[in-house]
C-alpha cells in the first residue's frame, strides 16, 4: 500500500510561519524526499513513482487514520459558500441503501452542518436526489444483518469541484468513508469545502477493538454511546465490553437474577439497555463482544451463587483491587450447567459470533488448597492449575459452540488442546501473541495498548501488532487479526473516562487501520491535535470534562490559574498511582490528577520550541530510573520554529507560570482537595525561573556563573520526584534548555 501526498502551501490550522516557509521551499522536490523531509510519511519506495507534487495544492489534510492510498488534487467542492449563505449540498444513492446507511448519512450531514454552518442537512432534505448531487453514495449491496470479522470495510472516495463520490461494498465501508468526508471538511476564504482528493482505503487489520471495564467503576449507557461514537470516528470496529469481574456483575440475567441482584450494588445494564447498545454499535459498524470473565475474577458470581465455588467464603464484593482468589469450581457438572444457561441467555443479547470468556489471572492456589479439587486433578492426571484451567476451557468451548459462539480469551487460555477457532487476546506481551500464531491460533494484541499505563500516544502508536521485523511467517502473520486498546477502570469514573481514553485511542486506531509504514510520529501528533478537537463535536468530553472538574476543584474561583498548571501536568501511571494512593473502591476520584489529560499538547509544543534553541543538545538519562517517568525524551517535538519565535513563546510561557503562582498558592490554600498540590505549584514557579534564566543566558550570549547548571539540575531533579500523583510534561526539554544555556558561547548555542 502506498500513501501519495501532495505538499500544500496554505495552512488551514494555526501553523507556524517557519513551517510554511519550509514547505514552500520543498514544494518541488521529488515526492519521496518531500515526504521524508518531515511533514508526511509512508512511502513504499517501489510504488511511489506515480505520485506528483502539485506546486499549488491548497490544503493540508488531517485525516486520521491515514488512508491506505490518497492523491490530492487542486480545488475543492463547496459545501457551504463564503458568507454563510444557504448550502446547496445534496446527496443521492446509486444502487441500494438500507435504513442503517440512511441513518448514518443523516448523522454525518448533521455533523457536516455543524462544521460548515447550519443548513447542510436541511438543504439536503429540501432537495431530494438531483442527478448532479454533491455527494453520490454507491454501496454494492445491503449489509448482512450481522457484521462479522470478515466484513469488507473498504471504500473509495473521490472529490472533484463538481461532486463527491463514495463507493463501498458494504454499509460499514460507506460509514468509514463518511467519517473521512467529515475529516476533509475545512475552510477556504470563508467557504466550507471538501478538498479535491482521490482515496482508496482499506483497513490493515480486521479486528480494531476498544475494551472498556465497566466493573471497577460503572459507566452509564450515555457514556457507552458517546464512546461508540468516538470509536466510529476513529474507524474502530469492535467494542469489547468487560461486564463481569470480582467487583461486580454488570449484565442483567433473568435466569440468574442474583448476579446483579446481589453482586452489582445496583449498578448494571438491563437486558433492554444491552440490546440497545448492541443496536447503537451495529448502526455504526461496530461489533459488540461481551466478556464474562471465568473461572478467575469470579468473586461476584460466587457471592451471588456460592455453589459455583469449591469453597465459598464470600460475604461481600471486594473493595480492594488486585487479584482476589475467588475461582469457579471446574470439577462440578453444575458449574457447566450454569454457564451453559448463562451463555445461551447472553448469547441472544449479544449476537456476535465471538464470546469473550476472560480466562486471565486464575489463582490456582484456591483449587490446589481444596481437597475435592485436588482429588479431581489427581484422577485426571493434572499436576498444575493451568492443566485444570485448560480442561475447564475445553468444556466451555463445547458450550460456546453449541450456542454458535467462538471463544476469545486472554492469553492464559492458550493451550494446544483447544481448537484453532479460538482467538487469543495478548495482554502480557507481544511474545504470547507470536507464540499463539506459531501454534496456529488467531490473536489480537493488547499488551502495548493499556491506557492506564499513561504512555504517550507516540509510544502506543509505534507498537505494531505485526512489526516490520516480525519473525512470524507470512501465514502466521495472517493469524494476527489486529488489536484492542484496553481501558481498565480502577482509577476512572464517568467524569474522567473520556480524558483517559481520548485522544490517545485515536493514535492506536491509526496503527490498526493504516499501513505498517505509517510511523511519522510528528505528523501523527499534528493530525491527532486536530482530530482531538473534532472528537468533542462527536460528543466526547476529554477536553471539556477535565475543564469542568478543574472548575469544580476551585469552586467559585476562576480556574484560569489552575488551567495553566494543568496544561503542563499529566497523570502518573496506574501502578504509580496505586502505590501512592492505595486506590480502592472507596477512593474518590476528584483530585488534580483526575482533572488532567494524558500526554497533553504542552509536551510537544515545549519540546519543539526548545529544539529550536537547543536541538543538538543530548540529555543524559536520569540517574534514578525509578523517578516519575518524563516521556519528553520519547515524544518528538512537533514543528521546530525559528529560534526567535521559539524564544518569544517560551518566555511567554515561563512568564505565565510565574504569573499564576501566587493565585495557585491561594487556590491550594483555600481548596482542601488541592491542598496536597502545593509542591507542584511551588515547583512550577521554580521551573519558570529556571527557564527564564536559561533563556536570558542564551539570548545575551552570557555564560552562566559557576554552579548555575548544577543548581538548575537539582531543581529539575526535585520536580521529577513523585508528588500528588501527577508529573510535569516538559522536564526533559527543560534539561535540554539548561544544558544549552550552560554551553552559551560554544558551538551548541544557536542564538
The number of residues making up the chain comes to 751
Kindly report the number of other CB atoms within 10 A of residue 746's CB atom: 9
Residues 241-300 that bind ligand ACM (CB under 6 A): none
Q: Which of 152, 361, 634, 676 contacts ligand ACM by CB under 6 A?
A: 361
DSSP H or E segment with residue 539: none
- Residue closer to ligand ACM, measured from CB, 89 or 410: 410
Q: Closest separation between CB of residue 450 and ligand ACM, Å?
A: 7
Q: Are strands 163-168 and 155-160 parallel, antiparallel or unpaired?
A: antiparallel
Q: Which of 19, 179, 360, 599 contacts ligand ACM by CB under 6 A?
A: 360
- Residue closer to ligand ACM, measured from CB, 392 or 730: 392
Helix residue ranges per DSSP H, 76-150: 99-116, 120-126
User: What CA–CA distance (Å, rounded) separates 156 from 166?
Assistant: 6
Q: Closest separation between CB of residue 361 and ligand ACM, Å?
A: 5
Residue nearest to ligand ACM (CB): 360
Find cell 495478548 and name the residue.
426
Q: Closest separation between CB of residue 323 and ligand ACM, Å?
A: 8
User: What CA–CA distance (Å, rounded) separates 588 from 725?
Assistant: 14
Tell me: does residue 490 bind ligand ACM (CB under 6 A).
no
Kindly report the number of other CB atoms within 10 A of residue 564's CB atom: 19
Q: Which of 91, 392, 427, 513 contacts ligand ACM by CB under 6 A?
A: 427
- Residue closer to ligand ACM, measured from CB, 360 or 495: 360
| Whether the Cβ atoms of residue 578 and residue 321 lie closer than 8 Å to each other | yes
151 included as an active-site residue:
no
C-alpha cell at 257: 437474577
Kindly report the number of other CB atoms within 10 A of residue 748's CB atom: 17
Query: In a 3-state reduction of DSSP, which class is residue 683?
Result: helix
Query: In a 3-state reduction of DSSP, which class is residue 138?
Result: strand
The residue from 74, 225, 361, 547 that is catalytic is 361
- Residue closer to ligand ACM, measured from CB, 35 or 243: 243
Q: Closest separation between CB of residue 327 and ligand ACM, Å?
A: 14
- Residue closer to ligand ACM, measured from CB, 65 or 448: 448
User: What CA–CA distance (Å, rounded) separates 228 from 212?
Assistant: 11
Q: Closest separation between CB of residue 104 and ligand ACM, Å?
A: 33
DSSP H or E segment with residue 313: none
C-alpha cell at 247: 467487583
- Residue closer to ligand ACM, measured from CB, 360 or 397: 360
Q: Closest separation between CB of residue 292 and ligand ACM, Å?
A: 14
Omega cis (within 30) before 65:
yes
Residues 657-716 that bind ligand ACM (CB under 6 A): none
Residues 402-421 that bind ligand ACM (CB under 6 A): 410
> Angle formed by the axes of helices 221-233 and 271-282, to 10°?
10
- Residue closer to ligand ACM, measured from CB, 360 or 609: 360
Kindly report the number of other CB atoms within 10 A of residue 85's CB atom: 11
Find cell 475529516 and name the residue.
183
**Residues touching ligand ACM, count (CB under 6 A):** 4
DSSP H or E segment with residue 34: helix 31-36
Draw the binding track, 306-345, toward ligand ACM (x: CB under 6 A; -: no contact).
Answer: ----------------------------------------
C-alpha cell at 156: 473509495
**Residues forming beta bridges with residue 292, ordered by sequence position:** 244
Q: Closest separation between CB of residue 329 and ligand ACM, Å?
A: 21
Draw the binding track, 156-185, toward ligand ACM (x: CB under 6 A; -: no contact).
Answer: ------------------------------
- Residue closer to ligand ACM, measured from CB, 226 or 297: 297
Q: Closest separation between CB of residue 412 and ligand ACM, Å?
A: 9
Residues forming contacts to ligand ACM in the complex (CB under 6 A) are 360-361, 410, 427
Catalytic residue positions, numbered? 361
Amino acid at each position: 500500500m502506498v500513501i501519495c501526498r501532495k505538499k500544500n502551501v496554505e495552512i488551514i490550522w494555526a501553523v507556524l510561519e517557519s513551517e510554511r516557509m519550509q514547505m514552500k521551499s520543498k514544494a518541488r522536490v521529488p515526492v519521496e524526499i518531500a515526504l521524508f523531509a518531515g511533514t508526511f510519511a509512508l512511502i513504499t519506495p517501489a510504488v511511489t513513482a506515480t505520485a506528483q507534487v502539485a506546486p499549488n495544492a491548497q490544503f493540508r489534510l488531517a485525516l486520521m487514520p491515514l488512508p491506505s492510498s490518497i492523491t490530492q488534487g487542486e480545488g475543492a467542492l463547496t459545501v457551504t459558500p463564503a458568507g454563510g449563505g444557504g448550502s446547496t449540498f445534496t446527496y443521492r444513492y446509486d444502487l441500494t441503501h438500507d435504513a442503517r446507511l440512511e441513518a448514518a448519512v443523516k448523522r454525518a450531514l448533521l455533523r457536516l452542518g455543524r462544521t460548515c454552518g447550519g443548513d447542510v442537512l436541511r438543504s439536503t432534505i429540501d432537495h431530494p436526489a438531483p442527478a448532479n448531487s454533491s455527494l453520490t453514495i454507491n454501496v454494492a449491496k445491503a449489509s448482512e444483518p450481522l457484521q462479522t470479522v470478515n466484513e469488507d470495510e473498504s471504500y473509495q472516495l473521490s472529490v472533484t469541484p463538481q461532486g463527491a463520490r463514495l463507493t463501498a461494498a458494504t454499509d460499514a465501508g460507506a460509514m468509514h468513508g463518511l467519517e473521512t468526508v467529515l475529516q476533509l471538511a475545512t475552510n477556504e476564504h470563508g467557504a466550507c469545502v471538501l478538498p479535491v482528493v482521490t482515496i482508496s482505503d482499506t483497513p490493515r487489520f480486521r479486528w480494531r477493538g476498544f475494551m472498556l471495564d465497566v466493573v471497577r467503576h460503572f459507566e452509564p449507557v450515555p457514556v457507552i454511546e458517546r464512546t461508540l461514537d468516538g470509536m466510529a470516528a476513529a474507524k474502530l470496529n469492535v467494542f469489547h465490553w468487560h461486564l463481569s469481574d470480582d467487583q461486580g456483575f454488570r449484565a442483567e440475567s433473568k435466569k440468574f437474577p442474583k448476579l446483579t441482584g446481589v453482586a452489582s450494588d445496583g449498578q448494571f445494564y438491563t437486558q433492554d439497555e444491552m440490546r440497545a447498545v448492541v443496536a447503537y454499535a451495529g448502526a455504526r459498524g461496530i461489533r459488540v463482544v461481551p466478556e464474562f470473565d471465568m473461572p478467575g475474577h469470579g468473586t461476584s458470581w460466587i457471592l451471588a451463587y456460592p455453589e459455583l465455588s469449591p469453597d465459598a467464603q464470600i460475604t461481600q464484593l471486594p473493595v480492594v483491587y488486585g487479584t482476589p482468589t475467588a475461582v469457579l469450581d471446574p470439577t462440578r457438572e453444575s458449574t457447566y450447567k450454569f454457564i451453559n444457561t448463562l451463555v445461551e441467555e447472553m448469547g441472544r443479547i449479544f449476537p456476535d459470533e465471538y464470546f469473550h470468556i476472560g480466562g486471565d489471572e486464575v489463582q490456582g492456589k484456591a483449587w490446589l488448597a481444596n481437597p475435592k479439587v485436588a482429588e479431581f486433578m489427581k484422577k485426571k492426571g493434572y499436576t498444575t492449575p493451568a492443566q485444570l484451567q485448560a480442561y475447564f476451557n475445553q468444556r466451555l468451548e463445547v458450550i460456546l459452540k453449541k450456542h454458535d459462539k467462538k471463544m476469545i480469551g486472554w492469553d492464559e487460555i492458550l493451550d494446544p488442546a483447544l481448537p484453532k477457532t479460538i482467538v487469543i487476546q495478548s495482554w502480557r506481551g507481544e511474545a504470547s501473541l507470536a507464540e499463539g500464531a506459531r501454534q496456529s491460533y488467531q490473536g489480537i494484541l493488547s499488551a502495548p495498548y493499556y491506557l492506564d499505563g499513561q504512555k504517550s500516544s507516540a509510544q502506543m502508536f509505534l507498537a505494531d501488532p505485526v512489526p516490520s521485523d516480525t519473525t512470524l511467517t507470512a501465514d502466521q502473520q495472517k493469524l494476527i487479526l489486529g488489536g484492542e486498546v484496553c481501558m481498565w477502570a480502577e482509577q476512572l469514573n464517568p467524569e474522567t473516562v473520556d480524558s483517559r481514553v481520548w485522544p490517545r485511542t485515536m493514535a492506536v486506531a491509526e496503527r490498526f487501520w493504516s499501513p505498517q509504514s505509517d510511523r511519522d510520529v510528528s505528523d501523527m501528533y499534528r493530525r491527532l491535535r486536530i482530530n482531538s478537537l473534532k472528537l468533542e463535536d462527536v460528543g466526547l468530553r476529554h477536553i471539556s470534562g477535565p475543564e469542568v472538574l478543574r472548575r469544580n476543584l476551585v469552586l467559585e474561583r476562576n480556574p484560569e490559574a489552575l488551567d495553566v498548571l494543568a496544561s503542563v501536568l499529566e497523570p502518573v501511571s496506574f501502578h504509580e498511582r496505586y502505590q501512592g494512593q492505595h486506590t480502592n473502591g472507596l477512593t474518590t476520584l476528584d483530585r488534580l490528577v483526575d482533572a488532567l489529560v494524558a500526554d497533553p499538547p504542552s509536551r510537544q509544543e515545549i519540546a519543539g520550541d526548545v529544539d529550536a534553541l537547543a536541538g543538538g543538545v543530548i540529555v543524559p538519562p536520569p540517574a534514578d530510573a525509578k523517578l516519575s517517568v518524563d516521556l519528553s525524551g520519547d515524544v518528538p517535538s512537533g514543528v521546530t520554529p525559528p529560534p526567535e519565535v521559539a524564544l518569544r513563546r517560551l518566555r511567554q510561557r515561563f512568564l505565565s507560570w510565574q504569573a499564576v503562582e501566587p493565585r495557585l498558592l491561594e487556590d491550594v490554600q483555600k481548596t482542601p482537595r488541592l491542598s496536597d498540590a502545593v509542591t507542584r505549584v511551588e515547583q512550577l514557579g521554580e521551573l519558570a525561573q529556571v527557564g527564564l534564566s536559561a533563556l536570558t543566558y542564551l539570548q545575551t550570549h552570557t555564560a552562566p556563573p559557576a554552579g548555575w547548571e548544577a543548581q538548575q539540575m537539582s531543581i529539575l531533579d526535585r520536580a521529577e520526584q513523585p508528588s500528588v500523583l501527577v508529573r510535569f510534561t516538559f522536564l526533559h526539554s527543560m534539561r535540554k534548555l539548561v544544558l544549552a544555556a550552560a554551553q552559551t558561547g560554544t558551538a551548541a548555542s544557536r542564538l
